[in-house]
Structure formats: structure tokens, C-alpha cells
Amino acid sequence: MSKIDVFISYRRDGNEETATRLKEYLEDHHYRVFLDREQRTDDYRKNYEKAIEEANDFIIIVTKNYFDKERLFKTPNPHDDDIRNEIRCALRKLQAEKHLPESEKTFKIHPLQVGFEVTLNKRDLPEDIHDIFNVNFIIPCHKDKLKESFHSDIKPHLISVPTTELETKASVYDPLYDDEEARLKVQADNALPSDNDVINRVYQLINKEKLHVLDVGSGPGYVTYTRFNDDRFRKVIGLDINEECIAKANQKYQNEKFSFHHCDIEAPDFEGRLKAIMKEHQLESFDLIFSSLVMHHLAKVSPNIPLAIMHEYLSDGGYIILRGSDDGADLCYPHDNILKEIIEMCYAIPTSSDRMNGRKLYTWLAKAGYEKIKCLSYMRDTSLRGMKQREGLFYERFSYRIRYFKKYLEKVHTKKAKEDYDKLTRLIAEMKLFFLDKSFWYTTYDFVAYAKKSREDEE
């Protein structure tokens, strides 16, 4: 079991839905959560006791039957009711830190009242959990407003720090590092047919002649320009966290129609920044939001968080298009063992982005409130490609991987990091030779999902 930040205690026949939703919100904000859904096996009790021991926050979903007198008192052995045992473990931990000043405490209990207030009476609880009366109960919140409550009432009380803040795994991706800009261009050209196909489909679905477009994570602007440079698009705004990219894109493409702005979509003020940019361009909403190969670089929040904010600024009946990729769908023959080894090494290195993002597009969009989500995949393989194109596919899909290891080595300088860097360099060099052999086959897929913001009167 990996380290746990937050333990959620709840009765399965109480409010499992709230517990599950709370777990999702916490995980979206990069907390590691223990929510027991296991069958009652021999190890089950040991597992949750260990999780409470590790956790910094113990959230109780208080429902009418959470402090169920019948069950709490039923057996003389306090281990027999799991809730009673969980509370006992948590109170024991709290007790151990009783004499520490507030600032040094590492554990807190947060009973959360969802939808109603519970009035407890000491005689309704067994003595070994009486100390729960000394804990502050969190204000009752409506179960449909759990998301708002999460930000205003729950998160500020937590002791745990989200993993991203601890590990500073903030996106290390730099679109202008080494020859990355040139690689992005090859990748953009390779994906042009699939992007055009989806943009054409979506254009047919939007009931408007001239569209306002937002390109999120527009990089140096090449993709933005090549996809939206025809008369169907009236205004095209690009956003990117990289200021140098924004300067380059504006220098090359800025005109009446195209304009690029610095904006971090993970920042707490993302919405304010977006509104200010829209005001500058006198835009009330966008008809089409496009984003290619960006969401998997986010390191501070889950993509569904900025995607939900974008949803607010999409016109009713407007569409979003996300393009991603997924190492899990890469195949080759022969030498599949080498491909597997490269992918596994890239998966394990902390400086890599989320290389398995294609499979997640649907879920991110669904969680962010989009509807009528359609997923597509476009196969791109070595068949019917000349040598130059085969090399182009290799360059697009493999060359940048060495950079993850180079960046890691620059950060940690360990012998192991150097060995890994050398090993990957060798494997990628081998892979390059395979691509030159005409009998070698490789395929990758572009994953694209498009989705709608329905009009209010629509089903």
C-alpha cells in the first residue's frame, strides 16, 4: 500500500455515494485516499488499521446510522464493529499527539455532516469512543453541494499536503528545449489528417457559420495556425503557460484573427485570466475549444478541473476537441520486447508526462460536465510509408523520450540515473535502426475525443 493522506470512514449502508465522490475530489487534487471497499477478508482489518496509522486526516461521513447504537454496543469486543474500531484507532492516534502544540500535530479527525445535523448523546456511545465528543464537527453541507463544500469547508482544514506540492513534479515539459519545437512540427504534420477530420465533423455539428475558437496549450502556434486558418473561423485565441512560445506565436501569426496569450490553466486564477482575455477581445463565449497533447502535462490538478472551467465559457451547443496519445496502444513487430522496455522505462521516470493519456480523455470530459462524448482513434503505422516518413514517425514518437532521462539526470546526478540515461539512449538507437529495416512494422494511434455543451433546453 502506498502512503495514505486521507482516510474516509463511512457506513456502507449509510452514504457510500458521498464517500465515493469525496474520494474523487480529493484524488483530483492529488491527495492519496483510503476508502475501504474491500470484501471482509482476513487482511482487511489489518489493512485499514495500517491506513489509519499512516493517514494525516480522518474524515467521517456522518450519516444517521453512522453512530448506530445497536451496532456500536452490540458486541462486547470493540473490534467487532468496524466503525467503532476505526474511531478507536483514530482517537488513539489523536491522543498520542495531545500534548503537542497545534502546529506540530500530524493527525486530525473531521466528522463531516452531510445534509443534516446529528445530535449525539454520550450515553448513546460506548465509552471507548467518548472522546469523539471533543472533536469539532464540520458544518453540515448539502450532498449536491459537496464540491463547493470541499473547497470552502473541507480542504482548508486538512493537514495533508497534496502529493504534487510535496514532490514538485510540476510540469518539466519545455516545448522549446533542444529540438522539441522541430519535433512538434513533424508531429503536427503527421496528425493533420486526423485533426482535420474531427474539426470538419464538429463544424458540421455546430449550428453557426463563423466560429470563435480557443486553442488551449497552443505552443509555438503552428498547430493553431494550420488547423484554423480558413474562413470558417472568425477569431482564434491561443493560450500557453510558456511565455517564449507566446511571443514566438504572436510574432509569426498574430493578426486580426489570431492572437496568443500567456495563461496557466492549472493556476488558481485561471478563470479570472480567461475572462480578462475574453473581455480584451470582446468575446462572450467560444464555439469550439481545441487542445492537442496538453492535458497530460498538467501536474498540479487533474485535467477535469480546468476542463470544467472551460465548459463555463463554451457556447451552448458548442464543442470541445481533445487530442492525446497512449503508449499502451503502441505495437511493433519484431523487437516488441525492446518497445516494451522503452515504454516501461518512460512510465517509471518522474520527469515524464502522463504517457497513458489517450485512454483518459473520455473520463476527463465526462467528469468536467461535457455531454455526447465521442472517442475516435486514428492509426498511424509504417505501412505504405517511404523511408523518410518512417524516420519521421520514429523521430516523432521516440526522440523526445531521451529528454525525460536527460532532465532527470540534470536534477539528481546519481549513478543509477546515469545508467538509465545510457540504457535508454542505447535502446532508442536500436529502435532507430529497426525503423530503417523495411520488414519492421510499428504503429501508434492518435486518440481524439470530442464532446458537446448541451443547450439548457436539450435532453
Q: Which stretch binds ligand SAM (CB under 6 A): 12-20, 96-104, 228-236, 238-246?
A: 238-246
Residue 292 lies near ligand SAM (rule: CB under 6 A): yes
> Within a 13 Å sphere around the CA of 248, how many CA atoms are in the beta-carbon half?
16
Nearer to ligand SAM, 73 or 177 (CB): 177
Contacts of residue 166, defined as CB under 8 A and 6 or more positions apart, other chains included, come to none
Task: Give least dist CB 292 to ligand SAM, A.
Answer: 4
Task: Give least dist CB 179 to ligand SAM, A.
Answer: 14
Residue 298 lies near ligand SAM (rule: CB under 6 A): yes
Nearer to ligand SAM, 86 or 446 (CB): 446
Q: Which of 14, 217, 358, 392 binds ligand SAM (CB under 6 A)?
A: 217
CA distances from 318 to 208, 253, 279, 321, 323 (A): 9, 25, 19, 10, 17
Q: Site size for ligand SAM, by CB under 6 A? A: 23
Contact status, residue 286 vs residue 318, Cβ threshold 8 Å: yes
Residue type at position 451? A
Q: From 353, 352, 349, 358, select the one nearest 328 (Cα to Cα).
A: 358
> What is residue 413's DSSP assignment?
-
Q: Which residues are registered as beta bridge partners of 290?
A: 215, 321
Q: Which of 113, 164, 171, 425 binds ligand SAM (CB under 6 A)?
A: 171
Q: Which stretch binds ligand SAM (CB under 6 A): 56-64, 211-219, 280-288, 366-374?
A: 211-219
Q: Which of 19, 35, 184, 346 binds ligand SAM (CB under 6 A)?
A: 184
Task: Give least dist CB 245 to ligand SAM, A.
Answer: 5
H/E run at residue 49: helix 44-54
Residue 223 lies near ligand SAM (rule: CB under 6 A): yes
Task: Give least dist CB 242 to ligand SAM, A.
Answer: 4
Backbone angles phi, psi at 400, to 5 degrees: -70, -20
Residue 56 lies near ligand SAM (rule: CB under 6 A): no
Which of the residues 330 through 349 are near ligand SAM (CB under 6 A)? none
Residue 396 lies near ligand SAM (rule: CB under 6 A): no
Nearer to ligand SAM, 93 or 183 (CB): 183
Contacts of residue 59, defined as CB under 8 A and 6 or more positions apart, other chains included, come to 6, 7, 8, 9, 22, 110, 111, 112, 154
Task: Give least dist CB 294 to ligand SAM, A.
Answer: 4
Q: Which of 55, 112, 265, 308 binds ligand SAM (CB under 6 A)?
A: 265
> What is residue 155's DSSP assignment?
G
Residue 6 lies near ligand SAM (rule: CB under 6 A): no
C-alpha cell at 144: 449536491
H/E run at residue 389: helix 387-394
C-alpha cell at 389: 516518413
Q: Which stretch binds ligand SAM (CB under 6 A): 73-81, 236-244, 246-254, 396-404?
A: 236-244
Alpha-carbon span 83 to 67, nearest angstrom: 8
Q: Which stretch binds ligand SAM (CB under 6 A): 27-35, 50-58, 291-299, 402-410?
A: 291-299
Residue 263 CB-density burial (10 A; 0-12 exposed, 13-18 middle, 19+ buried): buried
Residue 325 lies near ligand SAM (rule: CB under 6 A): no
Q: Which of 55, 249, 294, 409 binds ligand SAM (CB under 6 A)?
A: 294
Alpha-carbon span 253 to 302, nearest angstrom: 31
Alpha-carbon span 33 to 30, nearest angstrom: 9
Q: Which of 51, 91, 188, 314 binds ligand SAM (CB under 6 A)?
A: 188
> Within a 13 Å sphere around the CA of 271, how many CA atoms are in the beta-carbon half?
11
Q: Which stretch binds ligand SAM (CB under 6 A): 112-120, 213-221, 271-279, 447-455?
A: 213-221
How many other CB atoms are there within 10 angstroms of residue 204's CB atom?
8
Q: Which stretch binds ligand SAM (CB under 6 A): 19-27, 104-112, 128-136, 171-179?
A: 171-179
Alpha-carbon span 275 to 285, nearest angstrom: 10
H/E run at residue 402: helix 401-412
Task: Give least dist CB 300 to ligand SAM, A.
Answer: 8
Nearer to ligand SAM, 14 or 219 (CB): 219
Residue 172 lies near ligand SAM (rule: CB under 6 A): no
> What is residue 63's DSSP assignment?
-
Q: From 47, 51, 31, select the one nearest 39 (Cα to Cα).
A: 47
Residue 175 lies near ligand SAM (rule: CB under 6 A): yes
Q: Which stretch binds ligand SAM (CB under 6 A): 225-233, 264-272, 382-390, 404-412?
A: 264-272
Q: Give the residues lining the site for ligand SAM (CB under 6 A).
A: 171, 173, 175, 184, 188, 217-219, 223, 239-242, 245, 263-266, 292-294, 297-298
